[in-house]
Structure 1
Amino acid sequence: MSTPSDGESREPARGVSHAFADLLSQEFSPSTGHLATVVSGCLFAPSLFVFWFVNGVVDFSTALAVGAVASPAGLQVRLAAYVLLVPTFLVARVAVHLVRPADRRAVLSGSCPQTTYLSLDWVSVGILATGLPFALRDVGPWLGANLVVLVGVFFLPHALPPRRRAGVRAAALAAGPAVFLYAKYGALLAAGPDPAAVLGPVATLELAPATVDALATAVNSLAVGPAAVAAFAVVSNHVLTRPELRSVPLARHALPDRDPDRVVVASAAFGTVFYLSVVAVATGRITVVPW
């Protein structure tokens, strides 16, 4: 019986090495978008590092602004999960390709399959969306801001001449966050009217603490959390890629393209399980069923 030569035995190893290099080239491709250029300060920046830093700054500053972080300890755990996000994502991509027979043959032959099963954008949603119940404690500002955006972007422009629609949508996208910030933090200003006197229930409506705790427990459980976050991600994927939003020039450059629902669901659910695993390691506790 013949035995493989040293060259033949090294072929699979060389194939895997080439496939891994191809995988990295896919994830670390140059970024040429206008927003990435402005933020990173150079035209050809590794997209994965730009995402890791820029998206992290945006996501965590937004989480702090909307109140999606319950405590400093919770923020530390989310930061730890975010630091571990990219290496975990790359390992998961490699594992998925090696599990599927067709992809495994391609990897062993030296090429990385181009099929996308996971998206880093939506995996990161699993880390931050689990904190949304805490942000919904002050539900009035959320309702007010979303009502402004809903009417100003999706309904009002249809009653206006085409040349005025983009301006109205841009104004609504600016006014929505302004309403939220004023309703939530306007009372801290030394001057100006009290938000409750101007906005009424938008500034004062709150969820009961028991309701917030129940929502947070459910979203941060293994039985409910991955499905709930995946559903939220699918809705976001469809809303953020609507043509009404993409008709606004700044939004068109900042918003992502629509991903297949299967990729969004798998990525968001995986990100949620990953975050809950980090919580379990950090705290020694994990909730399987919230009831």
Structure 2
Amino acid sequence: MLHGCLFAPSLFTFWFVNGVLDFSTAVAIGAVATPAGLQVRLFAYVLLVPVFLLARVILHLAHPVHRAQVLSGACPNTQLMSLDWVSLGILATGLPLAIQNFGPWFGMNAVFLVGVFIVPRVVSPRFRPGVKLLAIVVGVVVFLYATYGSAVSFLPAPSSVLGPVATAALTDGTTDRVFRLANSVAFGPPLIAAFAVAMNHVLTRPELRDVPLVRRTLPHRDPDRVVAASAAFGTAFYLLVVAAVTRQIIVFP
């Protein structure tokens, strides 16, 4: 009765592809501090699909109208949760570790802001997609060079080329406080939910959707309530997994 309605096989395809991309990115940007931390996140991600499907079943069966539709063999048309945004809760809790090196992040996003949102407003429409694509490429190069350029012997020191973009960083104490905030039961779910809603609006802006290649990787804009609820649920689920595995839990930062 529920097959093909709540248990779409495409979910598993999305789960696998999204996991490969997200975890590769998390490792590359430093959102995972230790192998043990990576293992916990992987364990939570492995459990994600069955937990997500169970939550969908409970939500639909708890709703009188949806329950009647499901029991009659029809699929509810209302989206209550999104696997994409639920998975964000598992990885976004590690972002404070990644942004400790604040300079490269600031430099990359400054390039994005200027090249994607500002410069295209004053150039010919014919050149706008190319300008935006170039800005995205340059922004990524700035981030990679500022972060890893010092490890390449034949390149000039990033600090001599980019200045503060390569050297600005948050202190260990600040990073730890932000990390504990994002990974606390009291503040983590609403904080990650707010971040997800912001990303839902930024990544679906028309300025990004007309960029060649990039538009194929962007999500469709979901209702904010779905995004917030999904991200908060994913964060709470991840914190529960952490508590079960490590026997440690942060209630208040």
TM-score normalized by the length of structure 2: 0.98
Q: Residue 240 of structure 1 contacts residue 255 of structure 1 at CA under 8 Å; is this kept in 2?
A: yes
Q: Which residue of 1 aligns with 2:25?
A: 62
- Structure 1: give runs of 5+ residues left out of the alignment: 1-17, 29-46
Q: Which residue of 1 aligns with 2:74?
A: 111
Q: Residue 183 of structure 1 contacts residue 203 of structure 1 at CA under 8 Å; is this kept in 2?
A: yes
Query: Which of 36, 45, 51 is the matching residue for 1:88?
Result: 51
Q: Which residue of 1 aligns with 2:161?
A: 198
Q: Residue 68 of structure 1 contacts residue 132 of structure 1 at CA under 8 Å; is this kept in 2?
A: yes
Q: CA deviation at 1:241?
A: 0.5
Q: Which residue of 2 aligns with 1:284?
A: 247
Q: Residue 88 of structure 2 contacts residue 234 of structure 2 at CA under 8 Å; is this kept in 1?
A: yes
Q: Residue 20 of structure 1 contacts residue 112 of structure 1 at CA under 8 Å; is this kept in 2?
A: no
Q: Which residue of 2 aligns with 1:14?
A: none
Confirm whether residue 163 of structure 1 aligns to residue 134 of structure 2. no
Q: Relative to structure 2, which stretch is displaced further, 176-185 or 108-117?
A: 108-117
Structure 1 residue identity aligned to 2:184: S
Q: Residue 12 of structure 2 contacts residue 49 of structure 2 at CA under 8 Å; is this kept in 1?
A: no
Q: CA deviation at 1:256?
A: 1.2
Q: Which residue of 2 aligns with 1:125?
A: 88
Q: Which residue of 2 aligns with 1:181?
A: 144
- Report the number of matched residues: 253
Q: Which residue of 2 aligns with 1:224?
A: 187
Structure 2 residue identity aligned to 1:167: G
Q: Which residue of 2 aligns with 1:22?
A: 5
Q: Which residue of 2 aligns with 1:143?
A: 106
Q: Which residue of 1 aligns with 2:39?
A: 76
Q: Where in structure 2 are the equivalents of 1:257-276 lying within 5 Å?
A: 257-276=220-239
Q: CA deviation at 1:49?
A: 2.4
Which of the two has higher C-alpha Rg? Answer: 1
How far apart, in 2, do the equivalents of 1:169 and 1:259 lie?
A: 24
Q: Cα RMSD between the aligned structures?
A: 1.0
SS in 1 for 2:80: coil
Q: CA deviation at 1:224?
A: 0.5
SS in 2 for 1:19: coil
Structure 2 residue identity aligned to 1:112: C
How far apart, in 2, do the equivalents of 1:166 and 1:110 lie?
A: 45
Structure 1 residue identity aligned to 2:6: L
How far apart, in 2, do the equivalents of 1:59 and 1:156 lie?
A: 30
TM-score normalized by the length of structure 1: 0.85
Q: Which residue of 1 aligns with 2:117?
A: 154
